[in-house]
Amino acid sequence: MKRGHPQGWPIEQESTRETRQGVARATRGATAAHLAQGAAIGVALWCMLFSMQLLPGFTSDTWGVLLFAAIGVGARFLHAEVILAAALILFAVVVLVVTQTSLANIVARKWARRDPLPAQSLDAVVVLSGGVNPDTTMTSGALDNLLTGLELIHEGRSKVLVTTITDQRFPTGVIHSVVDQSRIISQFRGPGRWLRTPSTTSTRDEAVGSAELLMPMSAVHVAVVADPMHTRRACAAFEKVGFKVTCVAARVRSDGGPDPAPWPRDRLRVFGDWVYELLAMLEYRARGWVATLGESPCQTARPLLRWCNRPLIASNCKAKPPCVRRAVSPMLTTSYEGDVDLPRRAIGGRSYCTPVGERSTTSSS
């Protein structure tokens, strides 16, 4: 006698196959849902950081969104999504606190640096640049800086306007900030000179480029115009290369500003700027690019720019060492006469004078 019911075998096999296929489909669906969940967490993190302007470099562009989505998918695939979830919760708490309290207003008032304008005329007004747009216009922040600088020139605070130059590559080509700067400055009529630095990529470059332009002209007392949240680091960087700085916060017409409005957009922008500037200040201090409290111009100039017979530095030093004639770049041959020839120090391909009695050394930066 045969066991079982052979005539039922095909039905049982088909039922088993359908069950397996259903499990496979469910597994694939669960995997896809998990990966989509990871991508969503990654994009949500990008959005939070973007709202506070805390995304560095290319991560704030289109590729940055894909990168964060990929990081979320990878974390979910490796079962490390708890880390992303924790970061998401942390940033969510920060967003709630910043948007629902006046923390951003307190930070803005404490961080922004505003120096009183001196009674005497300034040697120059230095306007820091910002970003540019594909249509050759500058960003609103850069425009605010320039208009504030032109206002100082119009008031007779100085006859020399210095703008720093930046450029950015777009699919249509490289756009230089000098294009829109020329367009706007040409609308203002009045006596004075407009000087431009070489192309810069950082606040440090702007300070050094301005020193190369102005120090040979005996221009050491300058007003530095920057975004309010950027003033502290920017002015300290200019003081580091030997300038006597009057820090001027630009009038802000865009989001944020020194007194942000009580809605999320402004508060998040100001708080994000503060976090960015705090981290950047720590980096600049570690690199020795900003002046510290109590440093005199003799100390801040260091071997970078030793304009040793300028009145500012002489007033803070025990002696007034003379300087020699020098040319600081192929484009600038303006020089000053000193009493005796001094040893020269080659730094970055340029020669600068050194105080009497100091040994001549050669270094590169």
Q: Could you read off the pLDDT of 158-168 as tens digits, one per residue?
A: 999 999 999 98
Asked if residue 133 has pLDDT above 80, the reply is yes
Domain that holds residue 302: 298-365
Residue 349 and residue 363: Cα distance in Å, rounded? Answer: 9
Say what the pLDDT of residue 149 is.
95
One domain for residues 197 and 164: yes
Say what the pLDDT of residue 39 is.
84
Do residues 85 and 41 lie in contact, with contact meaning Cβ atoms separated by under 8 Å? yes
One domain for residues 242 and 127: yes
One domain for residues 271 and 302: no
Domain finish residue from 46, 78, 100 = 100
Domain finish residue from 237, 266, 287 = 287
Let me know if 246 is exposed, middle or buried by CB neighbors in 10 A (0-12, 13-18, 19+).
buried
Write the pLDDT tens digit of every residue in 12-35.
Answer: 555 565 555 554 554 555 577 777
One domain for residues 215 and 238: yes
Asked if residue 86 has pLDDT above 70, the reply is yes
C-alpha of 289 from chain center = 14
Report angle CA 120, 122, 127 to the nearest 5 degrees.
145
One domain for residues 136 and 162: yes
Mean pLDDT of 106-114: 90
One domain for residues 278 and 191: yes
Say what the pLDDT of residue 313 is.
38
One domain for residues 273 and 189: yes
Domain finish residue from 287, 317, 336 = 287
Say what the pLDDT of residue 28 is.
53
One domain for residues 247 and 126: yes
Do residues 157 and 164 lie in contact, with contact meaning Cβ atoms separated by under 8 Å? no
Percent of the chain with pLDDT over 70: 71
φ, ψ for residue 133 (rounded to 5)? -110, 160
- 3-state percent breakdown (helix, strand, coil) of the chain, nearest 5: 50, 15, 35
Residue 50 and residue 56: Cα distance in Å, rounded? Answer: 10
One domain for residues 138 and 86: no
One domain for residues 248 and 308: no
CATH number of the domain bearing residue 224: 3.40.50.620
One domain for residues 188 and 68: no
- Higher pLDDT among residues 290 and 344, named by residue: 290
Asked if residue 220 has pLDDT above 50, the reply is yes
Give the total number of structural domains in the chain: 3
- Higher pLDDT among residues 139 and 302, named by residue: 139
Asked if residue 333 has pLDDT above 50, the reply is no
Residue 33 lies in a domain: yes
Q: With b meaning 16 or more CB within 10 Å and e meaning fewer, what string describes 272-308? A: bbbbbbeebbeebeeeebbbeeebebbebbeebbbbb
Grade residue 172 by pLDDT with cuts at 50, 70 and 90.
confident
Residue 304 lies in a domain: yes
Computed over every residue of the chain, the mean pLDDT equals 75
Write the pLDDT tens digit of every residue in 269-306.
Answer: 889 899 999 999 999 999 999 977 655 444 444 434 44
Percent of the chain with pLDDT over 90: 36
